[in-house]
């Protein structure tokens, strides 16, 4: 082989190696970008609401904000925060009940008509008039969607048997109910339990092990009170947003969660 042929041969090897590496990197990026995270924040509006709205606007991400009617009506400021959230096209304002069951869940779910009334009252407070009504029930991790029906793994079998009729009745009245795949947990004080790094590890683990209700789609739960000023709430939430974007995940609101409208519930 001549010197010219050697140069041509090794140039081809280098080109193929670089091309293979680039394709591998592109494939990895594509795989991550196909994974979507739905950030959902419950119990709004509370002490973290202003920081939540600011972080969402500054980082330009989409979230779902599950709001409680009695929290909205508690002050003029909270009503202003509802209006501000509804003006942001990146925020899906959704129903988290009017009363939040006043934390007495078994009593709340003992009356199907009472549950329906409570949720419909909150629709009016928030201003939701068009089906489907994107919702999460207080104290319950259940899905009721055209193609996804799950029961709460954290309640007793007897509670589940008693409450299924409530969940099904809500679905029949136009409510799409969303549980969650992973929670950013908090102490009673509102202080987040996991660091952002730990939460990212848990998110990656769930995707790697296909541990979500819908493959490549993860619903992440957190709560408004975690993002109060005294807990460095805005900084923590912004750090999470940045970490998720840098990892290549897509962030969407729940109105983009995959739904097969022709499926049987």
The neighbour count for residue 136, using CB atoms within 10 Å, is 26
- The pLDDT of residue 21 is 46
Average pLDDT over residues 186-215: 98
Please check the confidence at residue 24 and state whether its pLDDT lies above 50: no
Alpha helices in the chain (DSSP H): 3-33, 49-59, 69-72, 76-87, 105-108, 112-126, 157-172, 196-208, 233-246
- Answer whether residue 264 is part of any domain: no
CA distances from 89 to 57, 84, 165 (A): 10, 10, 34
- Answer whether residue 74 is part of any domain: yes
- Answer whether residue 23 is part of any domain: no
Domain tally, the chain? 1
Nearest to 175 by CA among 91, 242, 96, 62: 96
The neighbour count for residue 59, using CB atoms within 10 Å, is 18
Respond yes or no on whether the N-terminal peptide bond of residue 145 is cis (omega within 30° of 0): no
Query: Is residue 222 within 8 Å of 37, Cβ to Cβ?
Result: no
What is the CATH number for 183?
3.20.20.370
Q: pLDDT by residue (tens digit) across 130-139?
A: 999 999 999 9
Average pLDDT over residues 180-208: 99
The confidence band for 190, taking pLDDT boundaries of 50, 70 and 90, is very high
- Answer whether residue 174 is part of any domain: yes
Domain residues for the domain of 243 are 35-256
Q: What angle do CA 168, 172, 174 make, to 5 degrees?
A: 120
- Answer whether residue 17 is part of any domain: no
- Answer whether residue 8 is part of any domain: no
- Answer whether residue 22 is part of any domain: no
The confidence band for 260, taking pLDDT boundaries of 50, 70 and 90, is confident
- The pLDDT of residue 71 is 99
Residue 173 per-residue DSSP state: T
Q: pLDDT by residue (tens digit) across 27-64?
A: 444 455 599 999 999 999 999 999 999 999 999 999 99
- Answer whether residue 121 is part of any domain: yes
3-state DSSP call for residue 182? strand
Using CB atoms within 10 Å of the CB of residue 32, give its burial: 0 to 12 exposed, 13 to 18 middle, 19+ buried: middle
CB pairs under 8 A, 24+ apart, for 124-131? 125/69, 125/72, 125/73, 125/98, 126/67, 126/69, 126/72, 126/82, 126/93, 126/95, 127/86, 128/93, 128/95, 131/174
Please check the confidence at residue 105 and state whether its pLDDT lies above 60: yes
The neighbour count for residue 179, using CB atoms within 10 Å, is 21
Q: Give the Cα separation of 98 and 13 in Å (integer).
A: 66
Using CB atoms within 10 Å of the CB of residue 244, give its burial: 0 to 12 exposed, 13 to 18 middle, 19+ buried: buried
What's CA 58's distance to the chain center, in Å?
19
Give the CA diameter of the chain: 88
pTM, two decimal places: 0.87
Query: Is residue 51 within 8 Å of 230, Cβ to Cβ?
Result: no
């Amino acid at each position: 082989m001549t010197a010219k042929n050697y140069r041509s041969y090794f140039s081809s090897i280098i080109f193929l190696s670089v091309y293979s590496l680039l394709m591998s990197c592109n494939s990895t990026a594509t795989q991550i970008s196909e994974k979507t995270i739905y950030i959902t924040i419950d119990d709004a509006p509370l002490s973290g609401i202003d920081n939540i709205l600011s972080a969402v606007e500054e980082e330009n991400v989409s979230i779902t904000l599950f709001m409680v009617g009695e929290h909205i009506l508690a002050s003029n400021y909270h009503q202003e925060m509802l209006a501000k959230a509804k003006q942001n096209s990146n925020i899906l304002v959704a129903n988290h009940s009017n009363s939040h069951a006043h934390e007495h869940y078994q009593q709340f779910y003992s009356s199907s008509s009472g549950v329906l009334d409570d949720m419909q009252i909150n629709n009016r407070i928030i201003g939701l008039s068009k089906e489907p009504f994107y919702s999460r029930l207080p104290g319950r991790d259940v899905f009721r969607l055209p193609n996804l029906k799950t029961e709460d793994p954290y309640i007793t079998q007897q509670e589940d048997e008693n409450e299924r009729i409530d969940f099904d009745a809500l679905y029949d009245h136009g409510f799409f109910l969303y549980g969650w795949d992973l929670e950013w947990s908090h102490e009673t004080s509102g202080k987040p339990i996991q660091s952002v790094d730990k939460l990212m590890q848990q998110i990656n683990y769930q995707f790697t092990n296909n541990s979500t209700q819908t493959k490549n789609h993860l619903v992440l739960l957190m709560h408004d009170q975690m993002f109060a000023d005294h807990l460095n709430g805005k900084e923590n939430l912004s750090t999470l947003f940045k970490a998720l974007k840098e990892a290549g995940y897509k962030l969407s609101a729940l109105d983009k969660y995959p739904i097969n409208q022709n499926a049987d519930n």
